[in-house]
Amino acid sequence: MRNRLVLLPGWGLGVSPLEPLAAALQGLDEHLHVQIEPLPALGSCDLEEWLDELDATLPDNTWLGGWSLGGMLAAELAARRGERCCGLVTLASNPCFVAHEGWPDAMPAETFDAFLSGCHADSQVTLKRFGLLCAKGAADPRGLSRLLVSGAPHTAPHVLMPGLELLAQLDTREALLAYRGPQLHLFAAMDALVPAQAASALLALLPDVEIGLIEQAGHAFLLEDPHGVAEAIQAFLHECVDD
C-alpha cells in the first residue's frame, strides 16, 4: 500500500493537530490515503506494549509517520516492520526528547521533570502549558495555542502519564539506524520543545537520509503551515516512488 500514509499524533493533544495536514496531503494527491491513528490508551509506559498495540492496529506495508512522540513511535515501528514499512516521515521528533550525556540536544531533564510533576498534580493545567510551548515561535502563538488545547481530548491523568513517561525514556537512534527504508525528518528552527540543533545532530547520525529545518516556525509547524509541510512530504513520497 505505497499510496497509504499512517500518521500518529503527539502527546496529549489528540488527532486534531494532524487533520489540516492530512487534508492538505490528500488535496495534493487524490491517490494518497492518509490515516490518522490515535495513540494507544495504555496504562503502561513499556515501549514493547505500545508497539504491539500499534503493530496489531495499523495496516501493514504503508508509510509510517508522526508528530513529536508519534514520530518517535513511528520510527520504532518502522524498525520493527523493516521491509513491511514503505518509509518513515517524522515531524518535530527528536530521537531523545529528554537530554542526557549521549544526546544533549533535547529538553533539559529538570524541565521535563517539572512537566511530569505538573501533569501528576493537574493534567489540564499542564496541557495548557504544553500547548503554549508547542505554539511558541509561531506567528500567532496565543491563537495557535488556543487551537491546540481546544481540540485536545479530555484524557484522564492515568492515561496521560504513561505517555509522558514513555517520552522520557525513548531513544530512537538504534531504530533509525536499523531501518533501511527512506526517511524524512522535519524540524523547526524556533521549536521550544525540540532544539533546532537536533536536526544537525541527527544528520551527523544519519547522513544518508533527508532532514529539513523549517525557519520561523515552532513545534506546531504542521498546524501553522499544513500546505507547506504537505508539499515537502509529497515531494519526498514521489521521489521515493520514482526511485
Q: HSE-up of 41 (CA within 13 Å, CB side)? A: 10
Kindly report which listed range (1-10, 172-181, 182-191) carries the lowest average pLDDT score. Answer: 1-10
User: Distance between CA atoms of 53 and 76, rounded to whole angstroms?
Assistant: 13
Arithmetic mean of pLDDT, 47-74: 97
Predicted confidence at residue 122, as pLDDT, reads 87
Confidence of residue 106 (pLDDT cuts 50, 70, 90): very high
Which residue, 153, 124, 128, 148, is CA-closest to 138? 148
Confidence grade of residue 50 (pLDDT, cut at 50, 70, 90): very high
Q: Which residues contact 140 (CB under 8 A, 6 or more apart)?
A: none
Query: Catalytic pick from 93, 145, 185, 191?
Result: 191
Tell me: pLDDT of 151 over 90: no
CA distances from 50 to 41, 163, 184 (A): 9, 10, 23
Per-residue pLDDT at 124? 86
For 183, phi then psi, to 5°, come to -135, 140
| Cell of residue 3, nine digits | 499510496
Q: In this predicted structure, what is the pLDDT of residue 226?
A: 95
Residue 85 has pLDDT above 90, yes or no: yes
Whether the pLDDT of residue 89 is over 80: the answer is yes
User: What total of structural domains would you count in the chain?
Assistant: 1
Calculate the average pLDDT of the chain: 93
CA distances from 163 to 10, 45, 52, 189 (A): 9, 6, 15, 25
What value does the mean pLDDT take over residues 125-144?
90
pTM of the entire structure? 0.96
Active site residue 243: no
Residue 82: Cβ within 10 Å count: 11
CATH of the domain at 112: 3.40.50.1820
172 or 121: which carries more pLDDT confidence?
172
- Tell me the pLDDT band of 60, cut-offs 50, 70 and 90: very high
According to DSSP, residue 100 is labeled: B
**Active-site choice (100, 219, 242, 243):** 219
Q: For position 23, what pLDDT does the model report?
A: 97
Contact 103, 201 (CB under 8 A): yes
Catalytic residue among 68, 93, 123, 145: 68
What mean pLDDT is predicted for residues 148-173? 89
Q: Angle of helix 123-135 relative to helix 109-121, nearest 10 degrees?
A: 140
Nine-digit cell at 21?
495536514
Rg (CA), the chain: 16
Has 68 been annotated as catalytic? yes
Domain range for residue 85?
A: 4-242
- pLDDT surpassing 60 at residue 32: yes
